[in-house]
Chain A
Amino acid sequence: MSGIAFILAGTLAAATPLLLAALGEMVVERSGVLNLGLEGMMALGAALGFIVVFLTGNHALGFLVAGLGGAVLSLVFASLVLGFVANQVAAGLGVGLLGLGLSSLVGKAYESRTVPGLPRLHLPGLSDLPLVGPLLTQDIVVWLSLVLALGLWAVLAHSKAGLVVRAVGENPHAARALGFPVIAIRCGAIAFGGTLAGLAGAYASTVYTPLWADGMIAGRGWIALALVVFGTWATGRIVFGALLFGALSLGELSAQAAGVGLPSQVLASLPYAVTILMLAVISSDRRRMRRTAIASLGQPFEP
């Protein structure tokens, strides 16, 4: 029982860094660009956000700087893949490593420091409910992330701007022929993705954990990337995948703490295995997949 309460209370916070990074990457990939530098952008955001919060105590400022840091790094990536038409996989990996290195460099003096996190908002009435109370008692960033997911879904699925981004991802040449500035739109999508990756990092280092240690992102950028692909670039599925992964990774620890007789290595691999399986089952419809897969993803575009 207490284990379930622990999972309910922690899932949304555990999922938020993944969700933010994955939502940003979803937009980038919808525009036809594959950004493999997500982990490094998260790490840079985590380091910058932490430093600002450590020095000023202001979380809003920390998120702002982290978002800017992620955006600037993503623009480096954009200049490589859009400006110099570089291979997206190589450029993404390279910029990701650059981000990891930069985070390590700027964060050096703050290694193992801690900051106070954000308070969990007590919703009158709702937070006192049995069982779902802890689930509904979260910090502000968690709620904002979910609102953002909803907003992105609305924009991508039901607005002209969303349609344009998707058109650029499907067939950049056709989009260009229609008069859309493909490079500018992709650049904007990349900057948006970088910003969200920076914010995701800042959430991890200033709210979720809240401490800075070199390497603390610990692969979450890669998990976010996988969530985007297995979630077939659909907002709802990515939210579902992030929540499922968050819940399972907590459930695994909770099962160990409760003394469940399964080897911890098996339990530790469960979140990955189950999330992949679930998302694979959801997206097993071949025809649907052909419709959702992004035609120009990863292909360099030269007008």
Chain B
Amino acid sequence: MQKPLDRRSFLKSSLAAGTALALPLPAFAAEDTLNVALIVPSPAADVGWSHTLLAGAKALEEFGPGVKITLLENIAEGPDADRIMNKTVADGNTFIILGSFGYMNGGLKLAKAHPEIAVLHASGYQVAPNFSPFGARYYQGTYLMGMAAAALSKTKKLGCVGAFAIPELITSINAWTLGAQAVDPSIDVSVVWVNSWFDPASEQEAAKALLAQGVDVIFSNAQDTPSVITVAEEAGAYVFNLNSSMKAYAPKKYLGVVGTDWSPYFKANARAHLDGTFAGAAAWLSMADKVVYVADLNPDIPADVAARMAEVQAATLAGTLSPFTGPISGQDGTEKVAAGVTLGDDMILSMDWHVQGVTTPLPK
């Protein structure tokens, strides 16, 4: 974004550079160096959760050659992670990104012991002056995917392979269902909980179980490998997932990705950390923050629905539309959200009920 140099500004800047070289100001040097450590629970492969965090952290390299990023992958939650966190700080890293909920308590202790560092922590809830939890509003994207799924489903049965029945996953399934009902009110959604964050074989069997019930669009909810994607492609069912695109694994039937791009958030916080203005705060990042996005949409989506999706996306970006605006009924038909009322963040963050249209009872 720099203007082309004319002779005068060139002279000015070279003069400034000369002065800077002659009188190295410590503040100037400090701005150039930032040691970032990223700790993630799984290997940072070409796809998946850890991959998106690494891509976001790598965006910090735009700050200049003084930015050094250390990736610590496949770190099990628990005492081992605490030890590694302490070591990264001892090694001189001051901007720490923790990629798993289970790093929370260790990370918080670390932040309290080292006020000079800044810690960003994925999917937690604890806040300290130098410790910020962050998460993504996946539901904004899954609502759009629900519209696409309803338009493409012939059996009018959608299915979701879920990891654990926790609010983050429940909200994304509910928004998906509501999006589908916005296009076709007769849509049914079945959910199979694998009860594991990581078991590709069971995830595949869960997808096959859904397909056997006549499901023809699948939501791979929080699987870090293309397990569900490959099964759906083989069976000829549309499929989408979260975080990073897996289109390569399902060239024909890939419905799209509800992706996350952490770089705007990481950059803003790294800048604040460098400027000394970092303040711990919970961030639930949205489409408007340019963190959540929808991409790689399948060309099979009918043009009229695609146009409606674009409208919804624009309204979501403008903040005038929330999937969780009433009237919304629960599974048993009772009114959960009154007409015209929009659920607040705290209600969405603690959601433990399914909307009407989800046929699988929610485990309590």
Contact = CB atoms under 8 A, between A and B. Distances in A.
Contacts of B48: 112
Q: List the 10 shortest-distance A-B pairs measured between CB atoms, nearest first.
A: A6-B212, A111-B45, A263-B363, A264-B193, A253-B209, A218-B199, A112-B45, A257-B209, A268-B195, A256-B192
A120 B194 CA distance: 25
A278 interface: no
Contacts of B60: none
Given A2-B213, A211-B226, A253 B192 contact: yes
A2 B212 contact: yes
A259 B361 contact: yes
A254 B212 contact: yes
Given A114-B226, A218-B198, A256-B206, 8 more contacts: A6-B211, A104-B43, A108-B43, A111-B46, A253-B205, A256-B192, A257-B360, A264-B363
A250 interface: yes
B165 A264 contact: yes
Interface in B203-223: 204-206, 208-215
Contacts of A6: 208-209, 211-212
Nearest to A108: B43
B280 interface: no
Interface in A203-251: 204, 208-209, 211, 213-216, 218, 220, 249-250
Contacts of B132: none
Interface residues of A, number: 37
Given A218-B202, A268-B193, A213 B225 contact: yes
Interface string B292-308: 00000000000000000
Contacts, number: 118
B364 A263 contact: yes
A253 B46 CA distance: 29
Interface string A251-291: 00110111101111110100000000000000000000000
Contact-size category for B: 35 or more
Contacts of A265: 195, 363
Interface string B219-235: 00000111100100000
B54 interface: no
A262 B360 CA distance: 9
A208 B201 contact: yes
B190 interface: yes
B102 interface: no
B361 A214 contact: no
Nearest to A266: B363
A111 B200 CA distance: 12
A257 B192 contact: yes
